Amino acid sequence: MIANARFFPFSGIVPNDLVMLIKNNSWKELSILLLGFLFRKLSFLGNQYALYRKTTGPYDDRTKGPGMEKELTKNLAYLKDNLSDSCDLKVHPLEFGPKNQWSGAMVFIEGMIDNGKITDGILRPLKDWRPESKMPAAGDGLINELAKKVICAGSVKPVASLGDIILECLSGNTAVLVDGCATGLIIGTKGWEKRSVSEPQSETVIRGPREGFTENICNNTALIRRKIRSGRLHVENLIVGRRSQTDVRLMYLEDVASHEVVAEVKKRLGRLDVDAILESGYIEEYIEDAPFSPFSTVGYSEKPDVIAAQILEGRVAILVDGTPFVLTAPMLFIESFQTTEDYYTRPLYASLVRMLRFVGYLISIFAPALYIALTSFHQEFIPTTLLFSIANAREGTPFPVLLESMGMVFAFEILREAGIRLPRPVGQAISIVGALIMGDAAVSAGLVGAPVVITVAITAVASFLVPAQNDAASVLRVVMMVLASFTGWYGISMGALAVLMHLGSLNSFGVPYFNGLAWTRDQEDTIVRMPLWFMIRRPQGIPENNTVRGRFFIPVFRPHEVLDEDSEDEQEEGPKERGAGA
Amino acid sequence: MAMILVGFTLILLMDLVPIVRRRSWRSAIGFFLFFIPALTLAVLRQKNVEVPSLMLALGDWLKAWGISY
Amino acid sequence: MRIDKSRISGLQFMFAMTCFIQASTLLSTFIASVTFQDSWLAALSGSLVCLPLIWLYRSLMVMFPHQNLLEIFDEVYGPVLGKVVSAGYCWFFITLGSINLTDLGDFVKLTIMEETPNVVLLIMCILVAAMALRRGVSLVVRYSDFFVTVAFSVLVISIILLLNQIKLENFLPVFDQPIGKYIQGTHIIAAIPYGELVVFLMIHPNAKMSRRDSGRYLLWAFFLGGFTMLFTVLRDVAVLGNTLDMFTMPPLVTLRLVNLGMALSRMEILFVIVLIILLFFKIMVLYYVSVMTVAHLLKIKKYRHLILSVGAFMITYGLTLYPCPVKHAASAQETTPFIWSPFEILIPLLTFIVAKIKKLPAGKEM
């Protein structure tokens, strides 16, 4: 007892006393002691909460620094001080002018600038500069002269605040300060090592553009602009994150996107007050409608053609610097089933694949549950021969069917996770060992029945058909399995109805999330994909104005076909006309 | 019995707490109007007490008046 | 005072009514043991008799486009008498909901889940419905068009699959029963599937539709629902003949008879699916209407906190109503039409006449 005393979790009560109290059966004192302890804990928590409420908010990098001084040394000292005297801050002293009478400094951060731009755009012109007429005096005149006539760069702007200079330097620009001037110049010299545009790993296509977004936000906006060369394509820059100061850009078609949705997105982005945004997932989590729903209400993609199509349908794209994943809002449930390839391949096949995807999604949710329901409750619905073989296979397996299938689903999830995270060659080895060897061994050792392995395998394969809804499917699958094991077919029906009700209650930025079962015009692009010339309107609910995509016309079907009923002379007319034309 | 109590306590926690917080006594009346009979019937059923059926009683009453097929 | 502010479209309103009729249809096999192979005649005459009833509901909807049934009573009968009538309707809606709930439980127990306790099934159904109720009427009727589509397609598929089993002589002899039986069958059909449409007088203020539309939608709903009922009964009679009354669930048996080759058999699972879906919809609507009635009676703005307690009451009350399905069927055949008639026919008719005499809606609109 005494040896354990110091591990006793209650602070404030001497454990020995407690032991004595318990031994003496003096429950009254004991309860007083414990209540006192509880009271103290609660008041401590209350104080903590009050303290938390009192704090004046976290550190913010956006604070405006003081204005610049005339003396260069003071400015440089301030900059060094406020950039924590970092070693990657480079201050390059300059002397320029016909007689080298002006001294200045170039400030930048190593690794974030393009060396070529600095040499050709700043250093060389400054060294070679010979003013034509009279010398401008030190001060704003000189800075203007430098900005207009000397420096060769795409973006040059004067600044007067030291805070701005720090921010610009941190985003890769170069500051040029001149002794005796209370303004400096910011020259756009951004340039760092970046990944070039390549085929995205997460969304591969057979037919369609293979380019994907990169981590560079300017590149990403350009990729979208290249797809939509419309003056109405609005791009708006926001800076989010107190410390990370991440660039976040909204892109939407001004005359198509719903103003309510745009305002809602801006409102939610403005509300967010965080330290850093490292990936668009951060933004998604802060702005989504239903954080505790298994269904995601913000879409994302890595491909410019997908995002361009979403923008054209009236959605708002949210680009985040530092990640190739671009968010789109509002998201509809049906979006997860539409891929760009549906629109690049011919409608018949595309519709077939679309239906396949729906079936696959249903299988990935309901197949294990159905198996459980059928084998444990409704054996009469299984054809007799199949029932015999299932009974044969299940003979000798030690676990109830729920446990068996749960175990297999769990094993599959482990394998999938391992396969994704490991380097590719090892990942393949894992999946071979896991799927083939373990599955086979488990069946032949009699741990699980072969039908369970088959069911889980088809579930697993089917779940890859709709990758965007994979997380929802894995949650729902387990729920359905539990329901099926308690109340069989009825449980599955009620579970499905509950999912429907939940889907119906969801909204994404004010747009109903799930409307797939209603009789609306949107059915043209839901279970089937109608020909492109048929879908002349943008989907309902998302765009506000300009809902018509194009003029409706039916392309000429089989223009050169000669029908049997056609008269003889018509048959002759065709070649004649063609001959005349030539 | 335990299940009944747990279930009804859950209903009580989910609905009565917000009602009391909003001080809307009308809602509280509406709530208890159904909550108490439901609890009583559930407990009676648990104790295997036969509760007479209202519909059958009404039917018998109508039959006594001669209104039936 | 509108408690639930969500709106629905006229089309959804129509589909909701269709779905409601269809749900009662599939279960209203009570007439099978009354009129045997002439059940389809009872269904037909019941539908025709109900046309004036539909017109009555339609005129009430048109006369009071922004007031639900309870508000109409308050307006027509004054606050005190109106409240008494409203309380009667409150009992009516809750009882109706409970009866349908126990129907679902009995049916599921009978067909697929023999061993599960009834209460568990009812609780699951009420919980899912409560989920929808929290979001208001727009979610309650949201999937009605889908449910109607499913029900229709299953009906059509089953008729096609059963074409090889249909024997026209099963309809013979026609008009073999005493005339009283036909009247009874007609009354049952009028009271159970169609008369229950009175619950939609509680929902119509939420539907966006014009005066002209309301009549059209009601007629369409009546037509689609009646079509389903007629064809279900016709199919069952054509396949089973006058053995119809031997089964508690004739449609289930009919679908079990489907046998086209090896693959297409045991189709009753389709009927089970459709019945669970449709009955769930009906229970959800009745549950919603009950909660709204209570909220209106007590003038409670936030009806959300009533949902679960009313649901719990519906379950426990429903379990006391009928000790067994046989008693239920007997009561439905003999007395229930008479118990429901005042609520479905007499009081609406009286309200309509009194409102016309008092010239109520005219003064309101001016």
Which ipTM did the prediction report?
0.93
Residues 145-204 of C with CB under 8 A from B: 180, 184, 187
- Would you give the distance in Å from CA C39 to the centre of its chain? 18
With contact defined as 3+ CB pairs under 8 Å, the chains touching A are: C
Please provide the distance, in angstroms rounded to a whole number, between the alpha carbons at the two ends of chain C.
Answer: 20
Q: Does C335 touch chain A (CB under 8 A)?
A: no
Q: Contact C266/C129 with Cβ under 8 angstroms?
A: no
Contact list, B24 vs chain C (CB under 8 Å) = 300-302
CA distance A494 to chain C (A): 7
Fill in the DSSP letter of residue C172: P
CA distance C44 to chain B (A): 20
Q: Residue A517 and residue C125: Cβ atoms within 8 Å?
A: no
Fill in the DSSP letter of residue B50: P
H or E stretch including C69?
helix C69-111
Predicted confidence pLDDT, tens digits, chain A (582 residues)? 444 444 444 545 556 666 677 777 777 777 787 788 888 888 888 887 777 766 555 566 556 677 888 888 888 888 888 888 888 888 988 888 877 888 889 999 988 888 888 888 888 888 888 777 666 666 777 888 888 888 888 888 888 888 888 888 888 889 998 888 888 889 988 888 888 888 888 888 888 899 999 998 989 999 999 999 999 999 999 988 888 889 999 999 999 999 999 999 999 998 888 888 999 999 999 999 988 999 999 999 999 999 999 999 999 999 999 999 999 989 999 989 998 889 999 999 999 999 999 999 999 999 999 999 988 888 877 878 888 888 888 888 888 889 989 988 898 888 888 887 888 778 778 777 777 788 888 888 888 888 888 999 899 889 889 988 888 999 999 999 999 998 888 999 999 999 999 999 999 998 889 887 777 888 888 888 988 888 888 888 888 888 888 888 888 888 887 766 655 554 444 444 444 443
Would you state the structure tokens that stand for residue A110, as one six-digit string? 């190593």
Task: Say how many domains are in chain B.
Answer: 1
Would you say the C-alpha torsion B19, B20, B26, B29 has a positive or negative sign? positive
How many helices and strands in chain A, by DSSP H and E?
20, 12
H or E stretch including A118?
helix A115-118
* HSE toward the beta carbon, residue A546, CA cutoff 13 A: 14
CA distance C311 to chain B (A): 9
CA distance A505 to chain C (A): 7
Q: Does C232 touch chain B (CB under 8 A)?
A: no
Of B54, B67, B68, the CB nearest to C321: B54
Q: Which residues pair with C259 in a beta bridge?
A: C265
The reply to whether B38 falls in a domain is yes
pLDDT at residue A8, rounded to an integer: 47
Q: Does A497 touch chain C (CB under 8 A)?
A: yes
Distance CA A117, CA A153 (A): 8
Ramachandran assignment for B48, one of left (phi > 0), alpha (psi -120 to 50 degrees), beta (any other): left
Q: Which residues pair with A13 in a beta bridge?
A: none
Of A378, A500, A501, the CB nearest to C112: A378
How many Cβ pairs closer than 8 A exist between chain B and C?
112
* CATH number for C52: 1.10.4160.10
CA distance C95 to chain B (A): 9
CA distance C228 to chain A (A): 19
Contact list, A488 vs chain C (CB under 8 Å) = 112-113, 116
How much is the mean pLDDT over chain B? 87
CA distance C266 to chain A (A): 7
Of B24, B31, B41, the CB nearest to C320: B41
Q: Does C336 touch chain B (CB under 8 A)?
A: yes
Residue type, C319: L
Residues 506-525 of A with CB under 8 A from C: 517-519
The reply to whether B10 falls in a domain is yes
pLDDT at residue C64, rounded to an integer: 87
Distance CA C250, CA C244 (A): 6
Would you state the structure tokens that stand for residue A546, as one six-digit string? 């300009």
The reply to whether C139 falls in a domain is yes
- Residue C50 sits at φ, ψ, to 5 deg, of -80, -10
**Interface mutation vs chain B, best among C293, C315, C316, most B CBs within 10 Å:** C316
Q: Residue B27 and residue C319: Cβ atoms within 8 Å?
A: no
Residues of chain C with pLDDT under 70: 1, 26-30, 261-265, 361-366
Contact list, B52 vs chain C (CB under 8 Å) = 320
CB within 8 Å of A407: residues ≥ 6 apart: A399, A448
Contact list, A499 vs chain C (CB under 8 Å) = none
Q: Does A500 touch chain C (CB under 8 A)?
A: yes
Distance CA C213, CA C11 (A): 9
Q: What is the pLDDT of residues C105-126, one digit of tens each?
A: 888 888 877 778 888 999 999 9
- Taking CA atoms, what residue in A is nearest to C114? A377
Q: Residue A378 and residue C277: Cβ atoms within 8 Å?
A: no
Q: Residue A518 and residue C139: Cβ atoms within 8 Å?
A: no
Give the DSSP per-residue string, A445-510. Answer: TTSS-HHHHHHHHHHHHHHTS-GGGHHHHHHHHHHHHHHHHHHHHHHHHHHHHHHHHHHHH-EETT
Q: Residue C305 and residue B38: Cβ atoms within 8 Å?
A: no
pLDDT at residue A561, rounded to an integer: 78
Q: Residue B38 and residue C312: Cβ atoms within 8 Å?
A: yes
Q: Residue C99 and residue B14: Cβ atoms within 8 Å?
A: no
Q: What is the pLDDT of residues A363-396, one digit of tens each?
A: 999 999 999 998 888 887 787 888 888 888 888 8
Would you state the structure tokens that stand for residue C52, as one six-digit string? 């004036």
Distance CA A327, CA A297 (A): 10
Distance CA A495, CA A484 (A): 9
Of A377, A486, A504, the CB nearest to C142: A504
Task: Say how many domains are in chain C.
Answer: 1
pLDDT at residue A582, rounded to an integer: 38
CA distance C186 to chain B (A): 12
- Domain around C73: 8-356
Distance CA A299, CA A307 (A): 10
Residue type, A323: T
CB within 8 Å of B7: residues ≥ 6 apart: C123, C312
Of A377, A378, A487, the CB nearest to C121: A487
Q: Contact A270/A250 with Cβ under 8 angstroms?
A: no
Residue type, A331: M
- Do the two chains A and C touch, given a threshold of 8 Å on CB pairs and at least 3 pairs? yes
Of C34, C302, C331, the CB nearest to B27: C302
Contact list, C269 vs chain A (CB under 8 Å) = 381, 489
Q: Residue C132 and residue A504: Cβ atoms within 8 Å?
A: yes
Q: Residue C280 and residue A501: Cβ atoms within 8 Å?
A: no
The reply to whether C365 falls in a domain is no
Alpha-carbon distances of C81 from A294, C74, C295, rounded to whole Å? 49, 8, 18
Contact list, C262 vs chain A (CB under 8 Å) = 383
Q: Does A403 touch chain C (CB under 8 A)?
A: no
Q: Residue A505 and residue C125: Cβ atoms within 8 Å?
A: no
The reply to whether C220 falls in a domain is yes
Q: Does C276 touch chain A (CB under 8 A)?
A: yes
- Taking CA atoms, what residue in C is nearest to B19? C305
The reply to whether B69 falls in a domain is no
Of B31, B41, B55, the CB nearest to C306: B31
pLDDT at residue C83, rounded to an integer: 92
Strand ranges for A210-323 from DSSP E: 233-240, 246-253, 299-301, 316-320
Q: Contact C217/C209 with Cβ under 8 angstroms?
A: yes
pLDDT at residue A379, rounded to an integer: 82
Q: Residue C139 and residue A504: Cβ atoms within 8 Å?
A: yes
The reply to whether C229 falls in a domain is yes
pLDDT at residue C365, rounded to an integer: 46
Tokens 């401008």 map to which residue?
A136
**Interface mutation vs chain A, best among C8, C12, C108, C111, most A CBs within 10 Å:** C108
- Domain around B16: 2-64
Q: Residue B14 and residue C308: Cβ atoms within 8 Å?
A: yes
The reply to whether C107 falls in a domain is yes
Please confirm whether the linkage preceding A347 is cis (ω < 30° from 0). no
Contact list, C337 vs chain B (CB under 8 Å) = 69
Q: What is the pLDDT of residues C295-304, one digit of tens each?
A: 999 888 888 8
Please provide the distance, in angstroms rounded to a whole number, between the alpha carbons at the two ends of chain A.
Answer: 109
Q: Residue A518 and residue C269: Cβ atoms within 8 Å?
A: no
Q: Based on the number of CB atoms within 10 Å of its own CB, is C248 exposed (0-12), middle (13-18) or buried (19 or more)? A: middle
Q: Does C49 touch chain B (CB under 8 A)?
A: no
pLDDT at residue C1, rounded to an integer: 60
Q: Based on the number of CB atoms within 10 Å of its own CB, is A138 exposed (0-12), middle (13-18) or buried (19 or more)? A: middle
Q: Does C124 touch chain A (CB under 8 A)?
A: yes
Residue closest to C332 by CA, chosen among C106, C55, C124: C106
3-state secondary structure of C310: helix
